[in-house]
Chains A and B, each alone.
Chain A
């Protein structure tokens, strides 16, 4: 069994007011066109204004949330930086690709090419924090964040010089991306208000979204929000297998279903996957609070980042906002949270967080 590791800070830029919120998820943001875009903060506090001008939005979002997570943890320089992204900077990729086609491969701007590389955010964060330690980028669809967290856990076990790891994830929605994935039926044909999408889980498709989330993961239990007890990833689990996975995970931590105070689920209103979530939560008592969040963020490969951020907020506030509560109530104290997340291309993760 691995040593426990701790989340000492969390920062997220999402379609909701999560970056520097006055109130917990208030006021709620909703959209009516099938996709949600992040509420972008003022970046000047975190990135040199000269650099900002040439930077694409996902880079700005990623770097700012990374710097903010460090600030919240009171750390100037992490010992390692690990990021996960399903798609990297789509805006830069699209820009360079369409220019290349339009200009018949002549006189292209290298900035878009450089920024489209998947490791550009962690490279920049290393440069800005002068962090010469371990630096890694996972690009594994719906598990990119979870694998980054696992890597951080490994690193904190094996390297005695590593104490604080900056771990983050970022993905963006673009108008092109929305069109492209619409052709393989990612989205709902009849588009509801995004905040209501979970009420339409009898029809296929979901809504698209984006966001970044960064965390300082540490081996020291000082000023920590919660412990990452375990992150487990798998591919193509069926309805039966997910129940077994959950049962075994709880057993490994000597826990019963009743010990879980909140299930944070990645339900996204898609009828294809709803039975999977229904089955996953079916072994838990009716009193267990079930929360959802993809009606607040939309679906994207690293949406689990919002779930982890939400979990840290639930631990801190000790209450579940009505807007995320799908089932159960928010009366008892919140000590154990299980995140269950599925992504479109058949990946699933289970993450157990404990206060």
Chain B
């Protein structure tokens, strides 16, 4: 039998905090991390709730032992560094020797969070100033290269950007690189700091809710944005056993597929989401009934939840597995969402929990199914499915199984 690819370490940094215990307390205690942003300098701050990581850039730099101030590190990278440090806490660095491992990172707007505040200097008359440290930070690979160099690593590197499914795609790529023997281990995930650019982008699309978002509710009216970073370490089961590593979960199936329908909207009947989940199940060799929990993409936009809900209903029937969206806790962390929610799903599976889908009141007219409303515990969950669907029709489903 082919070697299984397993998860042996993780690091998540979200509006809920950094340590697993703290974030689990929030997820099981129905405590949302959404609030009016304190650090993002946007005119919309008093109006909108966001999942902002509760630390300033200076706090983050200080926490990481970096010089405070214009240090050339963007918030995107700072978030990534904190999550990565958490992951590496229990990892022997010698496992990450040259070319034996890959670092697959993902984000949607690179260092826009810094660039947007300096852009007029970028294109202005002055050619000298602190802003020059940030000129090469706009592109997405900036965080990837800075994370590697901060930790003194020389991995095989790649950076992906497929909107809201970016880091879920990073996990898939890591799995494939290990399976093909290109690398022995891979650290995969993504990072995104909130930026005014992104906030205003979603506002211009008119799909942001001023209230805490209400996934799968009849009266849902959009998403809340968030930020964060999440990374998982993948390796072959045999390698993990050989070094005595604790196996946290098995990555048993996945699918990357495109909706091929519209630049920003899913096919209304959920055909794309259905295809993606169905293929992931087939890849894992599982029947729909074997899935114990679905962490839905569940952005609480009109379109997503209708399409995703219909797809879940079609694939799993009128009595689907327990499902919920954790976006009311963290906000939509965009490129980081796939990895963060994959880890939340794994925690739930291992602890026998299904998190409540906050703010759900009224079932959707077009659906017979409803999400988890109160914390479900003592469950026997063997397999979890985590969905990430993005602009551009970029859909990903991941399936993790108990070790």
Interface positions of A (Cβ within 8 A of B): 2, 81, 86-88, 96-98, 100-101, 104-106, 108-110, 113-114, 117-120, 122-124, 126-127, 129-141, 143, 147, 151, 154, 157-158, 176, 179-184, 233, 235, 301, 345
Q: When A113-B204, A126-B258 are in contact, do A120 and B141 touch as well, CB less than 8 Å?
A: no
Q: Does B27 contact A (CB under 8 A)?
A: no
User: Which stretch, B11-19, B193-201, B305-313, touches the partner chain A?
Assistant: B193-201
A123 touches B258 (CB 8 A): yes
Most buried by A among B119, B136, B157, B260: B260
Query: Which residues does B use to contact A, with CB under 8 Å?
Result: 42-44, 108, 110, 116, 119-120, 122-123, 127, 132, 135-136, 138-141, 144-145, 154, 156-163, 169, 173, 176-177, 179-180, 182, 196-197, 200-201, 203-205, 256-264, 272, 275, 390-394
* Contact between chains at A139 and B257 (CB < 8 Å): no
Closest residue of chain B to A85, judged by CB?
B161
Cβ-defined contact, A135 with B204, below 8 A = no
Residue numbers in A under 8 Å from B154 (CB-CB): 235
**Would A105 and B43 count as touching, CB distance under 8 A?**
yes
- Give complex CA distance A109, B204 in Å: 6
The smallest beta-carbon distance between A70 and chain B, in angstroms, is: 14
Determine the distance from Cα of A203 to Cα of B391 in the docked complex, in whole angstroms. 44
Given contacts A132-B275, A135-B256, 16 further A-B contacts (CB under 8 A): A2-B180, A81-B258, A86-B139, A88-B161, A96-B197, A113-B204, A114-B201, A119-B162, A119-B392, A122-B258, A122-B392, A127-B260, A127-B393, A131-B260, A136-B169, A140-B140
Is the pair A105, B200 in contact by a Cβ cutoff of 8 Å? yes
The distance from the CB of A237 to the nearest CB of chain B, in whole angstroms, is 11
Q: Which residues of A contact B161 (CB under 8 A)?
A: 88, 117-119, 137-139
Question: In the complex, which of the residues B160, B201, B261 contacts A136, with contact meaning CB atoms closer than 8 Å?
Answer: B160
Residues of A contacting B196 in the complex (Cβ-Cβ under 8 angstroms): 100, 105
In whole angstroms, what is the CA distance A79 to B270 when docked?
Answer: 21
Q: Is the CB of B120 within 8 A of A101?
A: yes
Enumerate chain B residues within 8 angstroms of A143, measured Cβ to Cβ: 158
Across the interface, do A183 and B204 meet the contact criterion of CB distance under 8 Å? no
Most A Cβ at <10 Å: residue of B42, B127, B201, B203: B201
Please give the distance in Å from A55's CB to the nearest CB on chain B.
11
- Counting from the closest, the 10 A-B pairs by CB-CB distance are A123-B392, A113-B201, A135-B258, A139-B140, A118-B161, A110-B204, A126-B258, A119-B392, A108-B204, A139-B161
- B165 nearest in chain A by CB position: A119
**CB nearest to B154 among chain A residues:** A235
Q: What's the nearest-Cβ distance from chain A to residue B54, in Å? A: 23
Residues of chain B with a CB closer than 8 A to A105's CB? 42-44, 196, 200, 203
Inter-subunit contact A117/B163 (CB<8 Å) = yes
Chain B residues with CB below 8 A from A126, complex form = 258-260, 392-393
Query: Which residues of chain B have C-beta atoms less than 8 A from A123's C-beta?
Result: 258, 263, 391-394
9 A-B residue pairs with Cβ-Cβ distance under 8 Å, sorted by A, are A87-B139, A105-B42, A126-B258, A126-B392, A131-B258, A135-B258, A137-B161, A154-B177, A180-B135
State the Cβ distance, A109 to closest chain B Cβ, in Å: 7
Residues from chain B with a CB closer than 8 A to the CB of A157 are: 180
Whole-angstrom CA separation of A306 from B201 in the bound complex: 33
- Interchain CB contact (< 8 A) of A184 among B135, B179, B204, B260: B135
A101 touches B119 (CB 8 A): yes
